[in-house]
Amino acid sequence: MIDDMRLRNFAATTQRSYIHYVADFALYFKRSPEVLDLEAVRQYQLYLSQERKLSPQSINTFISAVQFLFLVTLEMPWQREDFPRARLDHKLPVVLAPEEVERFFSHVTGVKNRAVLITCYASGLRISEAVALHIGDVDSQRMLLRVEHGKGGKDRYTMLSSGLLEILRAYCRILHPKGPWLFPSWREQQHLTAGAVQTACHDAWRNSGLRKRVSPHVLRHSFATHLLENGVDTRVIQALLGHSRIDTTARYIAVSPATVNATASPLDRLLQAPAKGKRAQA
């Protein structure tokens, strides 16, 4: 299964996630997955939902993992439709106001953690993309950040603001990162883990006293919403975020106060119409 994922150039995070879910699936039944069937998948899906109380997103990741195992690696004569997925609730993303972003960053400890989280907000990166940046991905001549193997294995460019460039230069002067990684781990030849940054993010959120829960992905949501409020076209935001579908980017219109408030209500137009008619008669 690992070889099959490598042949298809799956992201390392996807490979680890799939193996984790398939291993737990096998341990639950104490049998090799090759002797399990669709009824076992159904029973385990109910177990994840009813007993472990996993989110629909996590359950669907399990379904993706076993679907790949059975259809690709084991070549079972089943169809994708034989693996029903949990219905997802369409929730609006949490977005911080600019003042809340500033308040949050004032509580982030550690030069490296601060630099990574600011990069997530300043360029709209996923945490997995930010920690995997190479020093050579910072293009100060064209003011771009190169993202290699983003979600879906796609490369893209996103913005490198002058403010972020100064922060990254200050970070490099202080910590002098060596090797290929912009944010190296203490482990040789490895980059900082997403989990370590998420822990630092959680601690900063708790210390900030903000009621909105802050995660690296909330910073990415805030980046997109603040661009929209500044008049940036949704197609440009789609390219910067690396979204394959425009309707994914369009979610941010629903959480942008500036966009909502700038839209006239039909009731206001209706109430204004009689007043105009009276003035015309007079």
Active site residue 243: yes
How far is the C-alpha of 19 from the C-alpha of 15, rounded, in Å? 6
Nearest-angstrom CA–CA distance, 96 and 242: 21
Rounded CA-CA distance 149/132 in Å is: 9
User: Which residue of the set 18, 21, 121, 252 is catalytic?
Assistant: 252
Structure-block tokens of residue 263: 């839209």
Catalytic residue among 85, 103, 134, 217: 217
Q: Pick the catalytic residue from 146, 151, 212, 251.
A: 151
Helix (H, G, I), strand (E, B) or coil at 124: coil
Among 126, 191, 221, 226, the one annotated catalytic = 126
Annotation says 151 is catalytic: yes
Quote the CA–CA distance of 233 and 245 in Å, as a whole number.
Answer: 14
- Per-residue burial over 54-80, b if 16 or more Cβ lie within 10 Å, else e, is beeebbbbbbbbbbbbbbebeeeeeee
**Does 252 qualify as catalytic in the annotation?**
yes
Phi, psi of 138 (to 5 degrees): -90, 105
Q: Give phi and psi for 144, each to the nearest 5.
A: -135, 155
Catalytic option among 149, 212, 243, 251: 243
Classify strands 156-159 and 138-139 as parallel, antiparallel or unpaired: unpaired
List 114, 220, 221, 226, catalytic entry: 220
DSSP string, 208-241: HT-SS---HHHHHHHHHHHHHHTT--HHHHHHHH
Q: Give the residue numbers annotated as catalytic, written as ranges.
A: 126, 151, 217, 220, 243, 252
